[in-house]
Amino acid sequence: MNNNLAFTKEASPFINQRLLNHSSVMEQKIYQVAGNVYSAVGFGLQNPLMIEGDDGLIIVDPGESLESSIHIHNEFRKITNKPVKAVIITHFHPDHWGGTKAYITQEQSDSKEVLVIAHESFMKNVSSSNGQLADIRMGRAIWMYGSILPNGEQGVVNEGAGPLLQKGTIQMVTPNTTIKSGGSLELTIAGINMEIFNCPTETDDHLLVFLKDSKLLHVADAIQAEAYPNLYTIRGQNRDAVVWYRGLDKARSYAPHYLTGAHMRPVSGKQECMQLLTDYRDIIQYTHDQTVRLINHGLTPDMIVDALKQLPPHLYHKDRLGEFYGTFSQAIRGIYDTYIGWFDGNPANLNKLSPKEEAIKMVAMMGGREAVLKACQEALDKKEYQWCAQLATYPIRIKRDDMEMRLIKAKAVRYLGYQAENATWRNWYLTCALQLEGAFDAIAKQAGPNGGFPSFSKTIIELPTEYMFESYKTKLNGPESENVHASLKCIIDETRETLILEIRKGVLEIHHNSDFTCDETIIASKETFAEIMAKDITIHDAIKQDRVIVTTPHYIEEFFNYFDNYTSFIHMPFTFE
C-alpha cells in the first residue's frame, strides 16, 4: 500500500523528474526520534510533533485543519493515551495551529489546565494575515498550492514543503502563555526539561524548542522544508534573509544531536544536524550577499538573475536544498524589492502606460492581432513556451474574452507547468491554464461556496473581537465614503463588548469609549457581526431572524454598504494582466 498523499511514479512526461522524485521524501509515517519524540510526516503540509513525558504529552504545531489533525491525533493515540499537558504554536501561519481543537478546547486554555504557548505577537500576526489580508492571502495561496487542481500527473504532484495542503475547518485556541521577542522560557512539563526560545527566521514570531536531555531541537520552519527556502513566497510575502540566517546561527549554537521540523523528516547525529543547519544558513546568506553586491553595481532584478544564474555547485541541487518550494531567482527579486522597492532605475517605468494601453500599442506595432497569433503559434511549435505566454498576454489584455488567444496561452503555461521543478510554480501555471480555458469557475464552484474553503465570516470570527473589527478598516471604500461622516455603536451581545465605528471622510476609526455619541446602535452576536461584515447575511434578513437589535434598519444597511465585499479567489484576475 502506498501511504503517500504526494503523487508517486517512476517517470511521467507531464512532471519534472526531480519534482517527481521529491515526492518520495513525503511518505506518511510517524518517526520516533530520541526515544520519546514522534514526528507525523506526510499527513498534510505540516508535520505535528508529539513529545511524550512521564505523565503527559506536549504537542508542537497541531496541524493545518481540524479534520487532518483528528487523523494525526488518532495515530498518536495508538502510541500513548497520556493527556495533553501543553501545546506549543511555533508561529502564526495557519498550517501550524488550524487543527488545535483536535487536541484541546479553548476552556482548557482559559483555565490553564493545558499550557498553550506562543509568541507575544502571535494574535496580532494572525489578525494581520487572516484579517485585513484575508482575501488576497487566501486567493494567492489557493493558486500556489493548486487547491482546485486534481492530484496526479496533470495536477498537483506535491507542495514542495509537504505532500498536500489539507483543506478543512480551521479553529484557533488562543494562547495563555507568551514569550517576548528575543526571550525564552525554560520549564519542565511532564518531566521534560526544555527551553522554548524566540528565534526570528522565516517569521519574526518564530519559536524553537530545545529538549535539554536529548539535545533535540525542533526548528519548526526555520528550516522550511527539504527544499530551498521561500525567501519570497509567490503568494505574496518577503522574508528578511539576514534575520533568517542569523536565526539559524542561534540554532547552531545549541549544537543539537537531533533535528525535527514542521516540513521535513527528522535528522539524527550531531554532525548531520550541524551540516544541515550550516548549509541552510549558507544558501540564504549567499543569496542575500550576492544579490546586494550586484544591487550596488546598479543592476536591476532581471539583470541580477541573469548574472548569477544559479547557486554555486556545492549548494546547487544538494540533498534537502532543491528548488522545490522556493527558488533562487524569486529570492533575488524579493531581496531587491526589500531594499530598493519597485523602481528599477529606468525612467520609462516611473509613469508607465497602463497594461491595456501598452498592449494596444504593442499589438499594433507587431502588425495586429493575427500577426501576434501567428508568432505565438510559431513559438509553441519551437517549444518556446515562455515567449509564447508573454506574447499572448498582449491581445488578452485588450480583450479578455479572446478565447483563441487564451487557449494558446493556456497551452504554453501548461507546458511550463509540466517542466517546472518548483511545485508552487507548477501549481500556479496549471491553475492559470484552467482560468484561461474558462474551466476555473466551474471547477471551483463544484467544490461549494468559496471553492470548498471556509467562508470569510468563518475565518474572521476566529479572531479576537478587537482584531476582527480592526481588519474591517481596509474594507471601507474610500472614494465612495469620502464625503461621509457617520458613526455606529456595535455591542457584542454575549460579552457586552462595545466598539464604535466612525466613518470620517474615507477613513474608518474604531473607538473603545462607550460614551462616544453615535448616530445609531446595533446589538448582535459576534457570529452575526462576522456574517454582516462578510455579507453572508443582509441587515434585512438578520432582523427577520431576530439576530440583531436596531432602531433604524435603513441607516445600518447604508452604513455597511460603504464597505467592500470580501473578494473570492474565483474572481482574482491574475491570469489576464
Query: What is the rounded average pLDDT of the residues 62-86?
Result: 97
* 85 — pLDDT class (breaks 50, 70, 90): very high
- Edge-to-edge strands, sheet with 520-524: 507-511, 498-504, 485-492, 520-524, 548-549
Rg of the chain in Å (alpha carbons) = 25
Cβ 534 vs Cβ 552: under 8 Å = no
CA distance 31 to 47: 10
**pLDDT tens across 102-156, in order?**
999 999 999 999 999 999 999 988 887 777 788 888 888 889 999 889 999 999 9
Lowest mean pLDDT among 209-213, 283-287, 562-566: 562-566
Residue 449 has a pLDDT of 67
Residue 171 has a pLDDT of 87
Look at residue 259 and tell me whether its pLDDT is greater than 90.
yes
CA distance 61 to 218: 11
What residue ranges define each of the domains in the chain, with the CATH number in brackets?
17-308 (3.60.15.30), 353-438 (1.25.40.880), 456-560 (3.30.1050.10)
Whose cell is 503517500? That residue is: 4
Half-sphere exposure of 78 (CA within 13 A, CB side): 8
Q: In whole numbers, what is the pLDDT of the chain averaged over residues? A: 94
- Residue 358 gets the label, from left (phi > 0), alpha (psi -120 to 50) or beta, of alpha
**pLDDT tens across 473-505, in order?**
999 999 999 999 999 999 999 999 999 999 999
* 332: three-class secondary structure by DSSP: helix
Residue 2 has a pLDDT of 61
Residue 451 has a pLDDT of 66
pTM for this entry: 0.94
Look at residue 25 and tell me whether its pLDDT is greater than 50.
yes
Residue 1 has a pLDDT of 44
| pLDDT greater at residue 455 or residue 191 | 191
Query: What is the rounded average pLDDT of the residues 443-456?
Result: 74
**pLDDT tens across 291-332, in order?**
999 999 999 999 999 999 999 999 987 889 999 999 999 999
Query: What is the rounded average pLDDT of the residues 178-192?
Result: 98
CA distance 265 to 41: 7
The CA-atom distances, in angstroms, between 466 and each of 124, 344, 463, 471 are: 10, 39, 8, 9
CA distance 245 to 285: 6
**pLDDT tens across 426-446, in order?**
999 999 999 999 988 888 778
